[in-house]
Structure 1
Amino acid sequence: MRALQSDGAAVVHRDERAEGFVLLSPQFKQRWRFVTAHMGNLHAVLDLAKVADTLLFVLDPLDGWDSTGDYYLSCLFAQGLPSYALAVLGVPDLPQKKQADAKKKLGKAIEKRFPDAKLFPLNTEQESLLLLRHLAAQKQRHLAFRDRRAYLLAHNAEFVPSRDSDLVGNLKVSGYVRGWTLNVNSLVHIVGHGDFQMSQVDAPPDPFTLNPRVAKGQQKKGQDMEIQVSICPHSQQSASVLMQPRKQQPLQSEVIPDPMEGEQTWPTEEELKDAEGSLKKRRKVLKVPKGTSNYQAAWIVDDGEDGSEEEEEDDNMEDEDLMEEASQVVESSEEEELAEEECETMTIAESARDDLYDEKVDEDEEQMLEKYRQERLDQMFPDEVDTPRNLPARVRFQKYRGLKSFRTSPWDPKENLPRDYARIFQFQDFSRTRKHVFRQLEKEETEGAMVGWYVTLHICSVPISVMESFRQGMPMVLFSLLPHEQKMSVLNFVVRRHLGNSDTVKAKEELIFHCGFRRFRASPLYSQHSSADKHKLEHFLRPDAALVATVYAPIAFPPASVLLFKQRSNGMHDLIATGSLLSVDPDRIIIKRLVLSGHPFKIFSKTAVVRYMFFNREDVLWFKPVELRTKWGRRGHITEPLGTHGHMKCHFDGQLKSQDTVLLNLYKRVFPKWTYDPHVPEPVPWARNEQQLFMQELEME
């Protein structure tokens, strides 16, 4: 604090709760409020960076910053870094021989993170004055999620309990308006606590004005100049009421579903005639075998396939001989698979085993081995599953369907929606709504508290936990919401794995989202990022590509940054991925692919007998319309079943190889789970886990 005092500035207020102070500078005609961010609390650092005009990084003279500081810098850069300045203290206190080495080391560290930054020493009053001059003339950097929103860092707060309960009441928050004009009719979001309505906005006297008066007899030679706060003309009176709500935005975040809304009515005669006319236009004549249904006939391609005599001779094969040979092969293959599973072991070095002997393991060894085997199988055979023996495949995979082409086959986005979709808000054109909201804000002159005014907000129905957090020293940050931003919908984020984290992140695993000015918990789905109509589901957050994370969350207008954290069992929050908000689109189709595999048993010129894909005749007939493919690029379809044990005759566009594998693709649309939770637990101080890094290296070996 003393390092920043100079002839043109003086400390006029100390905030012991937040360990901060206020500087008035008559020379630069500016006012600064300095708030210290505790490095032990990640939420406090990120919240203060959301509303800060300038971040002042005070570096260590020897190392600059440690691993914890480097981790916090990664989070700040991903969230969006406002204007900043770098300062260092204590370089002259080092021995003369180490000062040059310390300056070189600091220069190299700064060049990596801040290539264009200037380092300001804070050892004399003249150097402090140079830093204040730099802060006064510095150009403010642009942050996307702060555009067109008013925000405020609470300076004082008072909680007034309601008549019904002491746990909920009205909260009076005082501070300076920043960013945009604050309107009492809009909703306000308290970061980490939720959305609320305002009942009133007051205009109290400004406690820190830029017209100080020097008290007589106070200024002496060799002493710091003390500045008394000037009194505004209306300061003797109580705070005047600035605004009261007229047409306030509602707090409704979900749609109340009507159970009768989906009730269907019988079509009219005109609609039936139109449907019959459209069917007549689309009809075409095909020659199909007896007993073929309309659905099966739709998959028959009228290509005039050429059959050979060798293929026709195959029709006369006896089913009993086929099934006897098939049963023998199945029994031998099952015995080999059981023997391989029983003989599989994993060994590690004795030194590593001795070091890890006394460590606590969360999961048993058997569960760890099973998890490791499953991950290896998923990597070697993506999306492939085994057809169950005790359950018909047509029952097990009844929610799946076949597609002629994943890219071009139609899929209705309004078909078979879950019940959670009745609770969300949907827009006919979200991008047009976003442009309209922004255009209205720019055209209309918003009535309210202007930027720089000191105001007091009366916020309704606030839980007492908000005040308790403020009393404990946590910063209270408020953002005004744009229209529709309190409503729930389906948000899509483009994310990329953080380079410093190698943890395995599965789909539907709960993560902590820092989206713009919000933070919440949700379980995302991951899919490929492309411009197609349908997007393939990804089971893991892969580090080598940009994926789209889809969750249920309150609407936010892009652009907005997003940070994904994973909470460990010890309470630490690890940065998993970073990215930005892509869109708010419930119609984005995420498709899960499932692959059934079979093996050629008898191969002819263009036909083959395939087994192990199904185990009964009815399943073969059920999946007969679905197109087949092989790992070596062949295409084909099921001709007919052979016997009663799931063998089937298939026709392909070329001769198969004996080592080829026949695949059948099935698809199903998936939706995220409603796991949105606005309450995020406070993280413990972050520290690099060297033991965990050693475990990961050991598994890789």
Structure 2
Amino acid sequence: MQQAHRPGTLKQSNKVHKSRHRSKRSVTSAVKGKISIKDVVRRNRHILKKEERRHQANQIRKNKREEVLSKKRALGGGRNPPFLVCVVPLNAQLDVQSALAILRTCSEGAVVSQSENGILHISLPNFKQRFSFICPEVDNDFSLLDALKIADTALFVCSALDEPMDEWGERVLALAMAQGMPTPVVVAMDIEGVHPKKRTSEKHNVQKLISKWLPEEKVMQLDKSSDGLNLLRRIGNQKRNVIHHREKRPYLLAEEVQYVPDTEGQSGTLKITGYLRGMPLNVNGLVHITGLGDFQMSQIDGLDDPHPLNSKDNSKLDSMDAEVVKRTVLQVADPAKQESLQCENVPDPMDAEQTWPTEEDIEQANIETKNKKMKRIPKGWSDYQAAWIVESDAEGEGSDDGSEEDEDDDNEDFMSCEEDNSDQEEKEADNDFESVTESEVGPTDEKYKMTSSWDPKENLPEDYARIFQFENYDRSRRRVFKELEDSLVNMYGFYITIHVKDVRQDLWKAHQSANANAPLSVFGLLPHEHKISLMNVVLKRTGVSNEPIKSKERLIFQVGYRRFIVNPIFSQHTNGSKHKYERFFQPASTCVASFYAPIQFSPSAVLCFKEKRNTKLQLVASGVLLSCNPDRLIIKRIVLSGHPYKVHKKSAVIRFMFFNRDDVIYFKPCKLRTKYGRTGHIKEPLGTHGHMKCVFDGQLKSQDTVLLSLYKRMFPKWNYENCIVTDKGSQSEGMEA
């Protein structure tokens, strides 16, 4: 058979045409018969037609609408807790009981009852909703904040006859917005008492005044029963504001409180009864009681709802004796699984004890000893300064000294009495030096940089041994929230009794005498939220005061549900690993405050108060929780300045920066700069009074100033105090360490 021709190595091959604009025919012929790998593995998807897409959109819209309506129907009715409304006057002279009297009689079928601590309960069977109203004390900031902290709705009441809003009203709105505003509702009373021709203008004036604080809120009228019914309808159907630090934790408002002392009389059990809200509550966890502190629980009981929706159920409960009310034990604490109240780490003093070296350690030490040589350096020099000296070995120096001694012996006849002083000076000079060992490899540039990295674990204070730290704060936070959401036992809306054990009797009596009428709230703590760590919060000045706040000044903080006293340090809120220390928190500025406090997972609102002499507390800043990170580097910069004494080309004699020769030698490796932009370094000290010879990259001017920047890491002081009891006259009293 004839063999086919094969082209050789000299066969000419022309370059293909690289045109970007190919015709459709050429593209089709090029890919003819080829199938994309994505088309092979892709499933056959049904392409929706126009009518099918329309039905799909309608179904999605319907599901979302039903989900929203089901959430609204669940609130305030059935086994869910009633709407908790905090009634706050915008004028300190206004009595809100007149507004509650209208709400009591707004509907004929309303079921009205009242708790022992003054909480008003109104049930509307036709609305299938229940409402609870609390009235915090006027002119008590902490009582107001505690009530707004757990309320679903904030009802602000003003009057058209008097001044709608005074200084107290502005303070109330400022505190509520800084802490986290619940769903707001504003009502105006006494409009019927105004002349009919002036009612519209008067209501418009109130609306204009409220719009400065709440621009989206429409002022409602509350003078008649129909107005009260419209108000309750709006409270039950409006959209809820989400307060994250509250929704992520279980909490309740105390309806009934009973203290049962132990046999010894020093402590006792505090029984707190109320509607559970928020997330599930675990009896083995810890609870925080506002104004008292953190405690453990012994058990949780379930009770019949004393304020049901229907009047028939209410009449049955009224006829029943208190002892006959059904009580069910829901959870009992397990001592083996119960979380400890230990908040500080106990450092072991023998943790860093010297252990017996192994054979490998001894062999490595012998190798390092062989690779070292002797070097003479001035006394007092550090290893960093000694690394810059390059000298010969100590043996060579000894041979040179021996030759000099021989020469002195030969010329002994020519020595005078003045040479005795020279011998003494040489001995003193020898005493100023010492011998140190150095590795044969010598210092490297990576080991001795001017711009070395700052180790966050280096030279930590003793207080750091007492705190706890997360390996990854954000990851731990997500894990804790996920475990809480996946909890199987959900008692949301249950009317329960919490048995809080080991409550000191003197502490409870002091709280009752100071805050008898204040609302008592309980928050369930998440895991690790009782342990102490370094907390960093971002603060912004409120503009109320123009006085600068000094670092380490005594301040009162409220972070989420917790209130305490600390002396924070301030730093700049910037990106990067190092943050500049601020001596003062200036007005109209933003900074980060760092202090030791119990761990709390973000997000959480932060309020900062300052104590004034002979006055009440003043809100000076507000912000949010940034992190609980002890590794935040807060760097303080100190600038030393000196002045040229003699200038010669690029070298100059500088004085007034140091006043000791040893200080000049110690800071010799540091870099210098001037106000006119020159850079340089210290060459050598001159004399004994701190003068030094420096070399720069250009000639200095006589009016220039030489600067040396020094840096130091700053740490807060351990001065955490619980805000135990707050008095009306002086909020700083009754605070314990």
For 1:663, the equivalent position in structure 2 comes to: 707
Separation of aligned partners in 2, 1:91 and 1:186: 51
For 1:509, the equivalent position in structure 2 comes to: 553
For residues 537-564 of structure 1, the C-alpha deviation after alignment (integer angstroms, 9 at most, x for no partner) is: 1100123432110010000001111000
Separation of aligned partners in 2, 1:292 and 1:685: 59
**Alpha-carbon distance, 1:626 to partner:** 1.4
Consecutive unaligned residues in structure 1, runs of 5 or more: 216-226, 301-402, 688-701
**Alpha-carbon distance, 1:59 to partner:** 1.5
Q: Which of 75-84 and 511-520 deviates more? A: 75-84
For 1:456, the equivalent position in structure 2 comes to: 497
**Alpha-carbon distance, 1:484 to partner:** 0.3
For residues 419-444 of structure 1, the C-alpha deviation after alignment (integer angstroms, 9 at most, x for no partner) is: 21111111211222112111222234
* One of 539, 545, 562 as aligned partner of 2:589: 545
Separation of aligned partners in 2, 1:238 and 1:48: 29
* One of 645, 660, 671 as aligned partner of 2:689: 645
For 1:583, the equivalent position in structure 2 comes to: 627
Alignment of 1:209-224 (within 5 A): 209-213=308-312
Separation of aligned partners in 2, 1:649 and 1:176: 77
Query: Aligned with 2:659: secondary structure?
Result: coil
For 1:421, the equivalent position in structure 2 comes to: 464
Separation of aligned partners in 1, 2:487 and 2:204: 53
Does 2:469 correspond to 1:431?
Answer: no
For 1:343, the equivalent position in structure 2 comes to: none
Query: Aligned with 1:86: secondary structure?
Result: strand
For residues 574-621 of structure 1, the C-alpha deviation after alignment (integer angstroms, 9 at most, x for no partner) is: 011111111111111212222211111122322211100111222211
**Alpha-carbon distance, 1:242 to partner:** 1.6
Separation of aligned partners in 2, 1:664 and 1:521: 37
Q: Output the amino acid matched with 1:134.
A: R
Does 2:258 correspond to 1:169?
Answer: no
Separation of aligned partners in 2, 1:498 and 1:559: 20
Q: Output the amino acid matched with 1:609.
A: V
1:42/1:683 contact within 8 Å kept: no
Query: Aligned with 2:684: secondary structure?
Result: strand
Q: Cα–Cα, structure 1 residues 634 and 681, in superposed 2: closer, same or farther, change >3 Å?
A: farther
For 1:186, the equivalent position in structure 2 comes to: 285
For 2:155, the equivalent position in structure 1 comes to: 56
Query: Aligned with 1:145: secondary structure?
Result: helix
Query: Aligned with 2:523: secondary structure?
Result: strand
Separation of aligned partners in 1, 2:300 and 2:237: 32
2:532/2:597 contact within 8 Å kept: yes
Does 2:302 correspond to 1:261?
Answer: no
1:23/1:33 contact within 8 Å kept: yes
For residues 437-475 of structure 1, the C-alpha deviation after alignment (integer angstroms, 9 at most, x for no partner) is: 112222342x25x11110011000113333663571111
Identity %, equivalent residues: 46
Alignment of 1:190-589 (within 5 A): 190-213=289-312, 236-246=324-334, 247-265=337-355, 294-296=383-385, 409-445=452-488, 447=489, 450-464=491-505, 465-466=507-508, 469-470=511-512, 472-589=516-633
For residues 390-421 of structure 1, the C-alpha deviation after alignment (integer angstroms, 9 at most, x for no partner) is: xxxxxxxxxxxxx9999x53122112221211
For 2:677, the equivalent position in structure 1 comes to: 633
Q: Output the amino acid matched with 1:578.
A: S
Separation of aligned partners in 2, 1:291 and 1:57: 71
* One of 664, 667, 685 as aligned partner of 1:623: 667
**Alpha-carbon distance, 1:289 to partner:** 12
* One of 56, 76, 85 as aligned partner of 2:176: 76
2:137/2:518 contact within 8 Å kept: no
1:63/1:106 contact within 8 Å kept: no
For 2:237, the equivalent position in structure 1 comes to: 137
Q: Output the amino acid matched with 1:466.
A: W
Separation of aligned partners in 2, 1:641 and 1:680: 58
1:44/1:474 contact within 8 Å kept: yes
For residues 32-85 of structure 1, the C-alpha deviation after alignment (integer angstroms, 9 at most, x for no partner) is: 110002221101110011110111111132432111221221111111011121
* One of 185, 205, 216 as aligned partner of 1:85: 185
Separation of aligned partners in 2, 1:566 and 1:545: 17
Query: Aligned with 2:722: secondary structure?
Result: coil
1:213/1:230 contact within 8 Å kept: no
1:161/1:170 contact within 8 Å kept: yes
Separation of aligned partners in 2, 1:534 and 1:16: 54
Query: Aligned with 2:460: secondary structure?
Result: coil
For 1:105, the equivalent position in structure 2 comes to: 205
Query: Aligned with 1:47: secondary structure?
Result: helix
Separation of aligned partners in 1, 2:313 and 2:523: 37
2:547/2:586 contact within 8 Å kept: no
1:68/1:686 contact within 8 Å kept: no
Does 2:248 correspond to 1:148?
Answer: yes
Separation of aligned partners in 2, 1:686 and 1:93: 39
TM-score of the aligned structures, taking structure 2 as reference length: 0.71
For 1:67, the equivalent position in structure 2 comes to: 167
Does 2:140 correspond to 1:41?
Answer: yes
Query: Aligned with 1:74: secondary structure?
Result: helix
Separation of aligned partners in 2, 1:162 and 1:261: 40
1:601/1:610 contact within 8 Å kept: yes
Deviating beyond 6 angstroms after TM superposition, the runs of 4 or more aligned structure 1 residues are: 230-235, 271-281, 288-293, 403-406
Q: Output the amino acid matched with 1:416.
A: N
**Alpha-carbon distance, 1:266 to partner:** 7.0
2:286/2:297 contact within 8 Å kept: yes
Greater RCO, 1 or 2 (C-alpha within 8 Å, sep 6+): 1
Separation of aligned partners in 1, 2:230 and 2:278: 27
Separation of aligned partners in 1, 2:253 and 2:117: 14
**Alpha-carbon distance, 1:299 to partner:** 7.0
Separation of aligned partners in 2, 1:551 and 1:486: 15
Cα RMSD of the aligned pairs, angstroms, is: 3.2
Separation of aligned partners in 1, 2:362 and 2:319: 80
For 1:160, the equivalent position in structure 2 comes to: 260
Query: Aligned with 1:126: secondary structure?
Result: helix
Consecutive unaligned residues in structure 2, runs of 5 or more: 1-99, 390-446, 732-737
Separation of aligned partners in 2, 1:3 and 1:168: 44
Separation of aligned partners in 2, 1:8 and 1:405: 83
Q: Cα–Cα, structure 1 residues 122 and 258, in superposed 2: closer, same or farther, change >3 Å?
A: same
Query: Aligned with 1:208: secondary structure?
Result: coil
TM-score of the aligned structures, taking structure 1 as reference length: 0.75
Q: Output the amino acid matched with 1:455.
A: I
Q: Cα–Cα, structure 1 residues 57 and 292, in superposed 2: closer, same or farther, change >3 Å?
A: closer
Larger radius of gyration: 2
Q: Which of 465-474 and 510-519 deviates more? A: 465-474
Size of the alignment, in residue pairs? Answer: 565
**Alpha-carbon distance, 1:228 to partner:** 7.3
Q: Cα–Cα, structure 1 residues 231 and 481, in superposed 2: closer, same or farther, change >3 Å?
A: farther
2:207/2:218 contact within 8 Å kept: no
Separation of aligned partners in 1, 2:689 and 2:469: 49
Q: Which of 518-527 and 582-591 deviates more? A: 582-591
For residues 194-237 of structure 1, the C-alpha deviation after alignment (integer angstroms, 9 at most, x for no partner) is: 1001101111221111121299xxxxxxxxxxx77577999835
